[in-house]
Amino acid sequence: MSNASGPLSGLRVLEFSGIGPGPHVAMLLADLGAEVVRIERPGTQVSNPVVERARHRMALDLKSDEGRALCREAAASADVLIEGFRPGVMERLGLGPDELLAANPRLVYARMTGWGQDGPLAQAAGHDINYIAITGALSAVGKAGETATPPQNLVGDFGGGSMYCAFGIMAALYERERSGKGQVVDAAIVDGATSLMSFFFGVRGRPFITTERGKGMLGGAAHFYRCFKCADGKEISLGSIEPQFYAEMLAKAGAPEELAQGQMNPANWDDYADKLAALFLTKTQAEWCDLLEGSDACFAPVLALDEAREHPHMKARAAYVEHEGEWHTAPAPRFSRTPGSVRSSLDDGADVVARWKAGV
């Protein structure tokens, strides 16, 4: 029996190793107590100790009869299976959902892909940037007159991918409590990223909120919702949308009085942005933090990853955890009775599967 803590303690997850969103899904479940057995190729080394934490690793050759037989054994006792291969790969291995659900009708079979299991592009190679490109998400990010700016791989792989896959898994597990049956979760990044764009899809045609690049209140055009450089070259962020928050920002920053009028008039935004840019260049980031942080100005410094770990609020929240000499992001979300935890990975996957098979 697993001794992991968390609200998912006792959940048995079989993960087929991959890159990007699949491993992140398994990390989310493992952090909250699920017992995850990660199947990987022989000789595979841990490439990301943070995302690949809390696994029981098992090296198998999926091209061998023995390797595939062990996978079927593990799936027969698992609650959840996560795979991120191109459509058809698992079927050709004899490990597709039809076969595994026949042996284990309660299995939730999660398929994490970019394009989805069907459609004209289903068999094409791709990455985060391509998946968010066809959803309208990438087009919205960047400066007017310039090419779109990839937002790392946060919007596709993790926002539209792993988070929706994890949500789908939990929804399928909830439904299983009523029906007693598992099912296939087709988690496509294009679907998740499209869902992330729901808010913008619903406000099409409105002048203040638009996905036209570099325009609109949220796209970097408004002087009260953007980033500015400071005297030391570092940056700060403003999100002072509401009139009362905007007024507090202006007062605390010592901004020119003329900025108090016409906040929501786009004709003023460029000029007001220039004035704020000149103002924020007069002090360092730390000095602006002293003046604005913790107020209702809707302010925060723009921090690099290592700086974020040292920020007082993030430290107070224990947002980062040191584990065996390595800094990790803390499990999220948080639970009052059954908190998650950061755990080590172990090369004992075969032992865990044997225990599952024995019903322990």
Residues taking part in catalysis: 127, 157
Sequence-distant (≥ 6) Cβ neighbours of residue 281 within 8 angstroms: 228, 229, 230, 231
Most distant CA pair in the chain, distance: 76
Phi, psi of 203 (to 5 degrees): -115, 25
Q: Hey, what are 152's tokens?
A: 């790392």
Task: Give, in order, the Cα–Cα distances in Å from 117 to each of 23, 34, 140, 185.
Answer: 19, 26, 26, 10
CB 109 within 8 A of CB 100: yes
What's the rounded Cα separation, in Å, for the pair 88 and 117?
A: 8
CA-closest candidate to residue 60, choices 346, 349, 345, 344: 349
Instruction: List, in sequence order, every beta strand (DSSP E) within 78-206.
Output: 80-83, 108-113, 184-188
Reduced to 3 states (helix: H, G, I; strand: E, B; else coil), residue 269 is: helix
CA-closest candidate to residue 116, choices 126, 101, 129: 126
Handedness of CA 314, 320, 322, 326 (dihedral sign): negative
3-state helix, strand, coil in the chain (%, to 5): 40, 15, 45
Please return the burial class of 350, using the count of CB atoms within 10 Å of its CB with bins 0-12, 13-18 and 19+: middle
CA-closest candidate to residue 12, choices 69, 79, 73: 79
